[in-house]
A and B are shown apart, each in its own frame.
Chain A
Amino acid sequence: MNEYILIGLNNVLSIQNILAIFGGTVLGLFVGAMPGLSATMAIALLLPLTFSMEPATGISMLASLYLAAMYGGSIAAILLRTPGTPAAAATIMDGYPLAAQGKAGKALGVSLIASFIGGTISAIGLMTIAPTLGMIVLQFGPVEMFSVAVLGITIIASLSQGSTIRGLFSGGLGLLLAMVGMDVTTGTPRFTYGMLNLFEGVPFTVALIGLFSIPQVIRLIQADEQAKKMVSKVTDRMLPTLAEFKHLLPNILRSGVIGTLTGLIPGAGGDTACWFAYNEAKRFSKHKEKFGTGYIDGIAAPEAANNAVVGGALVPTIALGIPGSSSTAVLMGALMVHGILPGPTLMTEYADVTYTLIWAVLFANFALLFVGLAFTRVSVYVTQIPNQVIAPIIVVLCVIGSFAINNSVFDVGLMLIFGIVGYIFDRLRIPTAPMVLGLILGPLLDGSLHQSLLIGNGNYLIFLQSPISACLLAVALISIIQSTPAGFWLRQLVRAVFGRKAA
């Protein structure tokens, strides 16, 4: 295990990997700064840039892009009062008031330092938790893997915004779509309707590009022209003073840990973590009344948390093959494009790639600190590009991305269909993240179900005979029940039995 850590460190220090990390950071900073472009979309759109790179280099670049976009989102939040990415929504609360007082530079500086420390905490978390979890998962057979997949789907469905029914529906539909194509065990083509293009199944990355980009494009242009964007100017210095830094440190550390833990949970990403950390910072603070008026604590907390999500979300992605957020789902897509199947093999067969990625996440934080200090002032101009120009260009990039994966125009059409479905889902408030997860986990679920049933001679009870699998399935069941009326009754029952405090 230790030798791989060193191999990864060695890999990451090669010239092209360092260049990739810096390149990804710069791109992520600019894309994150554009209002309305999320980190997920940035990764999906820039995926084709990495096709001709080495797998480790490409993935490292995308991971640093993800990390930098998390900071970039705060630039628009602070200067424009619109979050550049959903994960920066909480930063507006104190970031914009501070910028309005003429201290935009300080707001951005606090955000950068908090992002840096939060990201570093989570990178260390990733380096310690992922290998341990990976070791445990290596003991898992098909029976346990099936239960892990079921748990992944139910958790993301019940945690995603909106109702659990909608989440599960979306997840189920994703699983169903994953069934298209050749059956892994029997070799019969399913739901292909004679179309040769579908024999390989629905290309997951193509679906991702469509689902995450096209709805956003339509959202950018659907409303009538708004008033010209108002931008606060950055005139003061960025770096906070030593006293301010000392004052912020406990808050940043706490928020970093909160972010890492939130990232670990599949389905909860930066947009959840930033509010969580903001509220906790407020609760611990001695000056609760200052929050919302341009208090630096209110900037540091959400920014440390949303960058810390990156490392946390990568843990289940690497160890289990279940992405911890929609951005890591796209990162998984990138791995698959490079022919690396996510899951337990990442820790054994592809350990060199995995450890390079883990180191890259750590180094990307340092890159972010430099790039942030150098380019934040420039990125202010990016925030002023009108939406009407951005939207068509995104479409042009989507076409490249979806075509380049299999060199097929059919895929471009498929991307568009997924995009339109994504938009309809969005209008109906059905979350798309569970559908993406269904598409990823479908083959795993299908394959492990077949294998488990072969082991158990066709008896479904095999899933309850393995203690690990039984526990995982029980947790999955609870996560569904807690969001139904039955869960409400159960909670009332618990309250009645154990008194008020227990519930």
Chain B
Amino acid sequence: MPQILAIFVSILAGLMVVDVFLFKRRNQNAEAGNTVADAQSPYIGGFFDGVNVLRAGAFMVMVVLYIFLLDTMGYFIMTPLFLIGTLTLLRACRPLTLVAISVVAPVFVYLIFVTFLDLPMPMGLMQ
């Protein structure tokens, strides 16, 4: 079963490359003929079009750090730090609101998930 699937997926991956190639060529033809290219079609524009790469990248680095340090530091230490970091990065709100959200959110989570629902959480240093 895995072999069949692996072959199947590889063939499709190959077909996708062919598909894109054909599409690009057709698109070039279309541009030459001055017709409007279909906006719904794949591969109009580049991979990062309309993306603030720096901001999205920095955000993702923070997410990765957050999850990486989760086990050793614990959820309730990392979450406020993560929220302060990302909200500052995104310039989401005023400093006071920012701190309030970062403190209230984990407390809220603690009350609901640990006290009320009794779910396990990665406690880390707080254990």
Contacts and interface: CB of A to CB of B under 8 A. Distances in A.
B79 A218 contact: no
A428 B82 contact: no
Interface of A: 48-49, 51-52, 162-163, 165-166, 168-169, 172-173, 175-176, 179, 190-191, 214, 218, 221-225, 386, 388-389, 391-393, 395-396, 399-400, 403-404, 407, 409, 412-413, 416, 420, 427-429, 445-446, 449-450
Interface string B47-89: 1001110011001100110111011000100010011001100
A165 B2 contact: no
Contacts of A428: 42, 47
Contacts of A407: 120
Interface string B9-33: 1001101100100000000000000
Contacts of A450: 1
Contact of B119 (A51, A165, A166, A191): A51
Contact of B87 (A224, A389, A413, A420): A389
20 contacts: A48-B117, A52-B119, A163-B19, A165-B12, A165-B16, A165-B19, A222-B55, A223-B51, A388-B93, A391-B86, A393-B83, A395-B63, A396-B79, A396-B83, A399-B75, A400-B75, A400-B121, A412-B70, A416-B67, A446-B1
A150 to B, nearest CB: 12
Given A412-B70, A446-B1, A450-B1, 11 more contacts: A48-B113, A49-B117, A163-B19, A165-B15, A165-B16, A166-B19, A172-B8, A222-B51, A396-B109, A403-B121, A409-B70
Max chain B CB contacts within 10 Å: which of A166, A389, A407? A389
Contact of B109 (A190, A400, A420): A400
A173 B2 CA distance: 11
B36 interface: no
Contacts of B117: 48-49, 51-52
A175 B79 CA distance: 34
A172 B55 contact: no
A199 B121 CA distance: 23
Given A163-B42, A165-B16, A223 B52 contact: yes
Contacts of B9: 169, 172-173, 176
Contacts of B99: none
Contacts of A165: 12, 15-16, 19
B126 interface: no
B37 interface: no
A221 B8 CA distance: 36
Contacts of A225: 91
B90 A391 contact: yes
Interface of B: 1-2, 5-6, 8-9, 12-13, 15-16, 19, 42-43, 47, 50-52, 55-56, 59-60, 63-64, 66-68, 70-71, 75, 79, 82-83, 86-87, 90-93, 101, 105-106, 109, 112-113, 117-122
A221 B90 CA distance: 8
A408 to B, nearest CB: 9
A397 to B, nearest CB: 8
Contacts of A399: 66-67, 70, 75, 79
B63 A416 contact: yes
B100 to A, nearest CB: 11
Given A412-B70, A416-B64, A176 B5 contact: yes
A176 B101 CA distance: 41
A164 to B, nearest CB: 10
A175 to B, nearest CB: 5
A2 to B, nearest CB: 36
A162 B43 CA distance: 11
Contacts of B1: 179, 445-446, 449-450
Given A403-B121, A404-B120, A172 B12 contact: yes
A400 B113 CA distance: 9
Max chain B CB contacts within 10 Å: which of A396, A407, A428? A396
A429 B52 CA distance: 19
Max chain A CB contacts within 10 Å: which of B6, B13, B60, B101? B60
